[in-house]
Chains A and B, each alone.
Chain A
Amino acid sequence: MSQAHAAASHPVEEHTTTGISHNRLMMWTFLASDCMFFGSLIWVYFAYRGRYFEPPYPRDLLDIPYTSVSAAVLLLSSFSIVMALTALERADMKGFRGWLLGTILLGALFLGGQYYEFTTFYHEGLTLTSNLFGTTFFVLTGFHGTHVFIGIVWLLVQWLLSYFGKLTPAHVERFFVTTLYWHFVDIVWIIIFMLVYLMPY
């Protein structure tokens, strides 16, 4: 009987073999696939590392302190999204919206930083076509930026939905899946930051 009641109040009541929801399992599986995507991109970056026939070279361009700050901004968003999730679990919608908006702003700040970095590099002569560093750097970090952008749009939609009662504490599982994606994108940035920026050329 209790199960029937749960079914009535919950948006989707599903019985799964593993006890893990379909959405959560799919996101983990998708992230495994996305690991191979970034793995291939990073492998290509390394296959061409140092084969830069003409300037500008990475050591003249990369600004580690600047990018450290923007990396910290993105990492901070992983914290704020956890706070948003716990707020949603506590049914604290005000807290949820606040932390979620904070996450979105931190993500947007990171993207803005990337935009500033890209334009700076561009003015110093680094383009998609200038040399293999330009090609591999812009494509690798650009695809990461695209992932962040998709994450921001996804969070923004959920933030708006919460005002129309379409995202309620009953949807905590759905939001949890979004946070998985967001953390993954952050972790990928840590790896890219270490491999592209911190490894000496």
Chain B
Amino acid sequence: MAEAALRLEQAGYRRSALVEWLTTVDHKKIGILYYWTSIVYLLLAGFLALLMRIQLAQPDMNFLGPKTYNEVMTMHGTMMIFAVAMPLNAAFFNIAVPLMIGARDVAFPRLNAFSYWSFLFGSLLMWSSFLFGHAPDAGWFGYANLSSSRLYSAGPGLDFWDLGLQVLGISSIAGALNFFVTIVNMRAPGMSLMRMPVYVWMVLVTAVLILLAFPSLTVGLFMIMFDRYFDTNFFNPLHGGDPVIWQHLFWIFGHPEVYILVLPPMGIISEILPTFSRKPLFGAPFVIFAGIAIAFLSFFVWAHHMFTVGLGPVPNALFAASTMMIGIPTGVKVFNWLATMWGGSIDFKAPMKFASAAVWLLMMGGVTGVMHATVPLDYQQQDSYFIVAHFHYIIFGVIVMALLGATYYWFPKMYGRLLDERLGTVHFWLTFLAMNLTFFPMHFVGLDGMPRRYFTYSAETGWGTWNLVITIGAFILGLSQLVLLVNVVKTMRQPANAPADPWDGRTLEWTIPSPPPAYNFAVIPTVRGRDAYWIEKYGDGHHTVTDTTQRRHVSVNRDNPGHGLPAGVHLPKPSWWPMIVSAGLTAMAAGMIMHGTETLGPLGFPVVGIGAFVVFFGLLGWHFEPAIEHAEHEQAHVHH
């Protein structure tokens, strides 16, 4: 067993560290790439937020000015959604999901690398708009025809936004396809759907949401692109075009997008609470079906973003009702989480602090959500800071808090080290208090009528005091994230000696060393229930387990003698092609942006052509390259 593992390690590729990271197809490494890219973007987009907060700290400030404010606001929103929240989720899909289902990698390792590189290049393309002095400035939802007409948004800013989002969309679709197939098709023997960890369930539901929701955004972005480049009439009222069509397309994507962001963190909460309460998740099937119900309902609520558009009382009433219905499955989740903790032997470690705080913050943000599901209330709150308070409680309070919790929880699986608990506690309390200091007063100024997206306000509104409080809170919030970085640096200097199972975990990733070997599982485990590892360690209440390791290995041979053994362990082969194809794709997007400018216009289509050429031959190269390294590993069968 150990000998086989050693041989596998030796068969690894001898390449320089840089080349290894550039060509990696290992889900664990791709997860780490995703993680640090999104953390850097979190700090950058957070920095943009601080710029806005300086501008708003006092009435009539002139720190940014309206043009820059619009750009900073748009990039803050767009990047936080598409380049922080989504890829930070994708980081943990990569880090945890294959390990939790007992797989050696994802179904399409090179496609996985392609998703990462497309995310990186697409987001860099969008960030680069600042260098050209034309960042997008129409808000993260880019309402037509402000966004679709060169009359109203001259310069390439909105082109960066449109084309950059298309590249990011392709990255998300590829990632969703990959994780859908991985979860459906690569589970360890015995892991029926209802034995899947709740986090894996939520990733599966999220993948379906991405696949069904993103095309509507893609179509909308194409329409804006055609209007901007080829003078089509999609959103041109002179020829009957209707800007409200864009709002429908955007929010048919945009509302499921909210659940694309929040369902995986809900899954993370559903893993952390049971682990640190030492109790199974209360009513796990209910939590799973609640997640499915939320995902289903999310396609029927989009017009609650459009109550003030004037769709009429009947659509408004229907969408109000469907929106309130989402409160029911969400409430089911909250009560199940509370019941999980109830009577548990709670170990209040850093992951648990973040996860349990996220439950409370979800309540805070959820209650205001039900408030603006009510049409008359929404007429009052629409486009006010009350909305900003609401969605930051969800996006920061639930999504970022749960993902920070996941950082502490799964760090041993990333680096084989445990983050410092004391610094984690400091990080948690600073973040938790500062986030409430930042976002809670927004309720007050919002109800008092302070509009969102305005770059300033006058002194007689009386909003100066609370805005100063918000700005102070925002700065504390930003600075307290440095505690996490200090913690990481401090931890990385220590030896990688974290145990395989530091939290007395319940799921399969804790059965293997921290960090896991390249091949994850030397023996594919057999699963006998939800909380697969817990059952092996402590029994399922019906059988007593004598020797856990022996038991698992024997069950592999008995239950499924063919699985994972005769063919040996095949490691996916490192590849340059995913990055090359991503680069070609991004070149096509960049060429389109150039085509829209005056100076580089003639170069635009040639660059698009070169990009298409690179994509085509990149895909051919991808096709011809064997996906799996057969040599050497053939001998590395695992025997018992």
Q: Are A and B interaction partners?
A: yes
Enumerate chain A interface residues (CB-CB to B < 8 A): 1, 3-4, 7, 12-13, 15-18, 20, 22, 25-26, 29-30, 32-34, 36-37, 39-41, 44, 47-48, 51-54, 128-129, 131-132, 134-136, 139, 143, 153, 157, 166
Known: A26-B107, A135-B233. A33 touches B219 (CB 8 A): no
Question: Measured between alpha carbons, how far is A53 from B185 in the docked complex, in Å?
Answer: 52
Q: Do B181 and A40 touch (CB < 8 A)?
A: no
Pairwise interchain contact A139-B212, C-beta atoms closer than 8 A = no
Q: By the criterion CB–CB under 8 Å, are B624 and A12 in contact?
A: no
Q: Which residues of A contact B213 (CB under 8 A)?
A: 36
Please determine whether A128 and B215 come into contact, CB atoms closer than 8 angstroms: no
Residues of A within 8 A of B620 (CB): 157
In the complex, what residues of B have CB within 8 A of residue A1's CB?
A: 566
- 0 or 1 for each of B211-225: is its CB under 8 Å from A? (1 = yes): 111111011101100
Chain B nearest Cβ from A61, distance in angstroms: 17
Q: How far is the CA of A30 from the CA of B216 in the complex (A)?
A: 14
Cβ distance A30 to chain B, nearest Cβ, rounded Å:
6
Chain B: CB-nearest residue to A129: B231
In the complex with contacts A44-B245, A47-B245, A15-B222 CB distance below 8 A = no
- A to B CB contacts below 8 Å, 13 in the list: A3-B566, A12-B628, A18-B185, A22-B107, A22-B185, A25-B180, A25-B181, A36-B216, A40-B252, A44-B219, A131-B239, A132-B234, A139-B226
B134 contacts A by Cβ under 8 Å: no
Asked whether, in the complex, the Cβ of A53 is within 8 Å of the Cβ of B566, the reply is no
Closest 10 CB pairs of A and B: A37-B215, A51-B240, A40-B219, A36-B215, A33-B211, A16-B185, A135-B232, A4-B566, A22-B107, A7-B567
Question: Do A40 and B185 form a contact, CB below 8 Å, given A33-B173, A129-B233, A132-B241?
Answer: no
* CA of A36 to CA of B253, assembled, Å: 11
Residues of B within 8 A of A166 (CB): 624
Contact between A37 and B562, CB atoms less than 8 A apart: no
* Distance between B587 CB and nearest chain A CB, rounded to angstroms: 19
- Inter-chain contacts of A26 with B (CB < 8 A): 107-108, 177-178, 180-181
Contacts A32-B212, A33-B214, A132-B233 supplied; 8 other A-B pairs, CB < 8 Å: A3-B562, A3-B566, A29-B211, A44-B249, A52-B240, A131-B240, A139-B226, A157-B620
What is the CB-to-nearest-CB distance from A53 to chain B, in angstroms, rounded to a whole number? 5
Q: What residue in chain A is nearest B103 (Cβ atoms)?
A: A17
B627 within 8 A of partner (CB)? yes
Q: How far is the CB of A176 from chain B (nearest CB, A)?
A: 16
**Any A CB within 8 A of the CB of B132:** no
Is B13 an interface position by the 8 A CB rule?
no
- Contact among A15, A22, A29, A143 for B563, CB-based, below 8 A: A15
Bound together, the chains give a CA A38 to CA B95 distance in angstroms of: 34
In the bound complex, CA of A34 to CA of B216 (Å): 10
B383 interface residue per 8 A CB criterion: no
Q: Within 8 Å of chain A (Cβ to Cβ): is B427? A: no
* A3 contacts across to B, CB distance below 8 A: 562, 566-567
Task: For the complex, give the distance between the alpha carbons of A25 and B616 in Å.
Answer: 23
Contact with A along B97-113 (1 / 0, CB 8 A): 00000000001100000
Q: Does B184 contact A (CB under 8 A)?
A: yes
Q: Is the CB of B212 within 8 A of A37?
A: no
Q: Give Cα distance in the complex from A13 to B564, angstroms.
A: 11
Across the interface, do A129 and B230 meet the contact criterion of CB distance under 8 Å? yes
In whole angstroms, how far apart are the Cα atoms of A12 and B625 in the complex?
A: 13
Judged by a CB distance under 8 angstroms, whether B187 is at the interface is yes
For window 411-428 of chain B, which residues contact chain A by CB distance below 8 Å? Answer: none
Known A-B contacts A32-B212, A53-B240; the reply to A22 vs B108 at CB < 8 A is yes
Q: Which of B584-639 contact A (CB under 8 A)?
A: 616, 620, 623-624, 627-628
Q: Is the CB of B186 within 8 A of A16?
A: yes
Contacts of A132 in B (CB 8 A): 233-234, 239-241
Complex Cα–Cα for A163 and B150 (A): 50
Closest CB in chain A relative to B588 CB, distance in Å:
14
B448 within 8 A of partner (CB):
no
Cβ of B242 under 8 Å from chain A: yes
Within the complex, what minimum Cβ distance (angstroms) separates B26 from chain A?
18
Q: Tell me whether B187 and A17 are in contact (CB under 8 A).
A: yes
What separation, in Å, do the CA atoms of A54 and B186 have in the docked complex? 56
- A47-B242 contact, Cβ under 8 Å, with A7-B566, A128-B230, A135-B234: yes
- Within the assembled complex, what's the spacing in Å between the Cα atoms of A3 and B240? 63
Beyond A36-B216, A40-B219, whether A139 also contacts B564 by CB under 8 A is no
Q: Do the beta carbons of A129 and B219 come within 8 Å of each other?
A: no
Take A40-B249, A132-B240 as given contacts and tell me if A29 and B566 are in contact as well, using a CB distance cutoff of 8 Å: no
| Minimal beta-carbon separation of A3 from chain B (angstroms) | 5
Report the minimum CB–CB distance from B225 to chain A (whole Å). Answer: 10
What is the distance, in angstroms, from B458's C-beta to the closest C-beta of chain A?
A: 41
Chain A CB within 10 Å — which of B107, B249, B564 has the most? B107
Across the interface, A4 reaches (CB within 8 A) one of B177, B240, B567, namely B567
* B222 in contact with A139 (CB, 8 Å): yes
Q: Which residues of B contact A34 (CB under 8 A)?
A: 215
B577 to chain A, nearest CB (A): 15
A residues less than 8 Å from B252 (CB atoms): 40
Quick one: CB contact mask for B169-183 with A, threshold 8 Å, 1 for yes? 000010011101100
A48 to B223, CA, bound (A): 13
* Bound-complex Cα distance A32 to B493 (A): 47
* CB-CB under 8 A for A131 and B108, given A16-B185, A20-B185: no
Q: Which residues of the partner chain A approach B233 to less than 8 Å between Cβ atoms? A: 129, 131-132, 134-135
Residues on B with beta carbons closer than 8 Å to the beta carbon of A135: 226, 232-234, 239, 241
Q: Are B232 and A41 in contact (CB under 8 A)?
A: no
* Distance (whole angstroms) from the CB of A73 to the closest CB of chain B: 26
Min Cβ gap B604→A in Å is: 18
Please, which residues of chain B bring their CB within 8 A of the CB of A47?
Answer: 242, 245
Q: Is the CB of A15 within 8 A of B564?
A: yes
Q: Out of A25, A33, A51, A139, which one reaches B232, CB within 8 Å?
A: A139
CB-CB nearest in chain A for B253: A40
User: In the assembled complex, how far is the CB of residue B211 from the closest CB belonging to chain A, in whole angstroms?
Assistant: 4
Give the complex CA separation of A40 and B108 in angstroms.
28
What B residues does A40 contact at CB under 8 A? 215-216, 218-220, 249, 252
Residues of chain B within 8 A (CB-CB) of A20 are 185
Do residues B240 and A29 form an inter-chain contact, with CB atoms below 8 A?
A: no
Separation of A37 and B169 alpha carbons in the complex (Å): 12
Report the separation of the CA atoms of residues A168 and B627 in the bound assembly, to the nearest whole angstrom.
Answer: 17
Q: Given the complex of chains A and B, what is the CA–CA distance between A60 and B242 in angstroms?
A: 25
| In the bound complex, CA of A131 to CA of B233 (Å) | 7
A48 CA / B232 CA spacing, docked (Å): 13
List, in ascending order, chain A residues with CB within 8 A of B220's CB: 40
Chain B residues near A37 (CB-CB < 8 A): 215, 218-219
Task: Tell me the bound Cα distance from A26 to B176 in angstroms.
Answer: 10
Q: Which residues of A contact B226 (CB under 8 A)?
A: 128, 135, 139
Minimal Cβ-Cβ distance residue in B for A166: B624
Specify the chain B residue showing the minimal Cβ separation from A154. Answer: B619
B181 partner, pick from A22, A51, A139, beta carbons under 8 A: A22
Q: Is the CB of B627 within 8 A of A12?
A: yes
Q: How far is the CB of B341 from chain A (nearest CB, A)?
A: 33
Give bound CA distance, A12 to B572, whole Å.
12
Residue contact B214 to A48, C-beta cutoff 8 Å: no
Docked Cα-Cα span, A7 to B630, in Å, equals: 11
Cα distance A136–B230 when bound, in Å? 13
CB-based nearest A residue for B188: A17
CB nearest neighbor in A for B245: A47
Give chain B interface residues in 100-155, CB to chain A under 8 Å. Answer: 107-108
